[in-house]
Structure 1
Amino acid sequence: MSTAFAKSQMHGLLSKRLRFHIVGAFMFAVAERRKKPYADFYRNHDSMKDFEEMRKAGIFQSAK
């Protein structure tokens, strides 16, 4: 009498976990790379200066 053993739950676990973590690490790296240009822009950004330039250009009709 031959009994078939069920596959262990540990079978393939490493590859499944690695796939999940590699995708997560890739997404984290992309997000971090995108954050730097925004941080650099807003570090020296003067919103009032931009507003005044747009107002003088006539973009805003309600602010004169």
Structure 2
Amino acid sequence: MGEGAKDKAKGKAKEMMGKATGDDRMQAEGKTDKAKGTVRDAAQSGRDKAKGVRDSLKHDDK
């Protein structure tokens, strides 16, 4: 499980707990954690794509 997925799961749990207990701050923290997870996933995807391009260019030179 990647870091982004962990953040999203943690955020979902916090958000649900905040909603169940009426704790607006915990609910907001959950939403923030979920957003953080989404950003991490997007960044990782970009790194993976860049690595793929770099590797394909490396193999084209041979």
TM-score of the aligned structures, taking structure 2 as reference length: 0.50
Larger radius of gyration: 1
Structure whose residues are more often helix by fraction: 2
TM-score by length of structure 1 reads 0.49
- Bigger relative contact order, structure 1 or 2, given CA contacts below 8 A and separation 6+? 2
